[in-house]
Amino acid sequence: MADWNEYWFPTPLPKRHSPEMPTPQWDFGSMLDAFWNGDYDLIAIRARETRHALEFNPHGYPYGGTGSLVALVECFGHRVVGVDGGTGYEEYVPRTNIWKPRASRAV
């Protein structure tokens, strides 16, 4: 967290809130917290013709988004090809601007 704060706070505000700003990946605790607090039910993983679908039922809008669900699928080495977050199906574009902490920092 200290590494992130050292990166975040000196960054100018316009860049901080732009799409180009790298963001950290989900950590396991945050992912579980998002499942617990998301306003949706996880329904099933269903086999489709050539792939599988993780189905969920949102109770309202906003329900918390699909970020934690994408992280769940990706953390097991699978690839997300599309997302229907309630506004229609869209092809999924993986994040490329992931912030990584300095490896040399002693913990």
pLDDT in tens, 26-59: 888 888 898 888 888 889 999 988 888 888 888 8
Sequence-ordered list of residues with C-beta below 8 angstroms from that of 96, at least 6 positions apart, any chain: none
78 is a domain residue:
yes
3 is a domain residue:
no
Residue 56's beta-bridge partner residues? 42
Cα-based torsion angle of the residue sequence 5, 27, 73, 83 in order, rounded to the nearest 10 degrees = -40
Please, which pLDDT band fits residue 94 given cuts at 50, 70 and 90? Answer: confident
3-state SS class at 75: helix
User: Alpha-carbon distance 100 to 93, whole Å?
Assistant: 19
12 is a domain residue:
no
90 is a domain residue:
yes
101 is a domain residue:
yes
pTM over 0.75: no
31 is a domain residue:
yes
43 is a domain residue:
yes
Domain count, the chain: 1
Domain range spanning residue 82? 22-107
84 is a domain residue:
yes
